[in-house]
C-alpha cells in the first residue's frame, strides 16, 4: 500500500535524500612499474580517510570522502591510490546535532562503497591482485571525533550544548 501524497505540504519531520553521487578527484600511481611486478615480500598497506562538508544551498550539502591507500614494500612505494568520492545530499528538518551526525556518519557510509569500488578497480587495472577495503565503522569514527573535540574544548561539552552560559 502506498503512502498518501501530501499535495505540496511540507513533510512532517526530518527528510533526507541522495541527490547525486560522483567522483570528484581520482589518482593512481605505480612509480616502480614494471620492475615492481617482480618484487618479493609482504607489502604494507596504509589507509587514510578524510571528509569535507560544504553547504551548497539551504538544505543541500556536498560531502566529500577522501580515501588514500598506499602500498609499500620496505621503503619502496608499490602503488598509491587516492579518490575523493562526493555526494550531494538533501537534509531538512534536522536539529543541529542530528544534522552533524547525518553528515558525519550516514553520508560517508553511503559514499564509502563507491570509493572502495573505485580504488579496487584502479588497483586491478594497474596489474595488481584485487584488493577489497574492509568496511569502516563511521559511527565509531564520528564518536571518536566528538570525544576529541570535547577534550580540545576542555571537556565542557555540556556547557557548549547549552550555549556556554555559566
pLDDT in tens, 120-156: 999 999 999 878 889 999 999 999 988 988 888 875 5
pLDDT at position 7, please?
Answer: 53
Q: How many Cα atoms within 13 Å fall on the side-chain side of residue 54?
A: 8
Q: Does the global pTM surpass 0.75?
A: yes
Q: Where are the domains of the chain?
A: 15-141
* CA end-to-end distance (rounded Å), the chain: 52
Q: Give CA–CA dist 139/102, Å, rounded.
A: 10
pLDDT at position 162, please?
Answer: 41
pLDDT at position 145, please?
Answer: 87
pLDDT in tens, 30-43: 998 898 888 888 99
Please tell us whether the domain made up of 15-141 is placed in CATH 3.30.70.20. no
Amino acid at each position: 500500500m502506498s503512502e498518501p501524497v501530501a499535495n505540496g505540504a511540507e513533510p512532517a519531520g526530518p527528510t533526507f535524500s541522495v541527490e547525486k553521487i560522483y567522483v570528484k578527484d581520482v589518482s593512481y600511481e605505480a612509480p616502480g612499474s614494471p620492475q615492481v611486478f617482480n618484487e618479493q615480500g609482504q607489502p604494507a598497506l596504509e589507509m587514510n580517510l578524510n571528509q569535507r562538508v560544504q553547504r551548497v544551498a539551504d538544505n543541500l550539502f556536498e560531502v566529500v570522502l577522501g580515501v588514500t591507500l598506499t602500498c609499500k614494500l620496505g621503503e619502496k612505494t608499490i602503488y598509491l591510490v587516492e579518490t575523493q568520492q562526493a555526494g550531494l545530499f538533501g537534509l531538512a528538518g534536522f536539529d543541529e546535532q542530528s544534522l552533524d551526525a547525518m553528515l558525519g556518519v550516514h553520508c560517508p557510509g553511503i559514499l564509502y562503497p563507491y570509493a572502495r569500488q573505485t580504488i579496487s578497480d584502479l588497483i586491478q587495472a594497474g596489474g595488481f591482485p584485487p584488493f577489497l577495503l574492509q568496511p569502516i565503522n563511521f559511527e565509531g569514527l564520528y564518536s571518536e571525533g566528538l570525544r576529541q573535540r570535547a577534550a580540545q574544548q576542555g571537556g565542557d561539552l555540556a556547557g557548549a550544548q547549552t550555549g556556554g552560559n555559566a
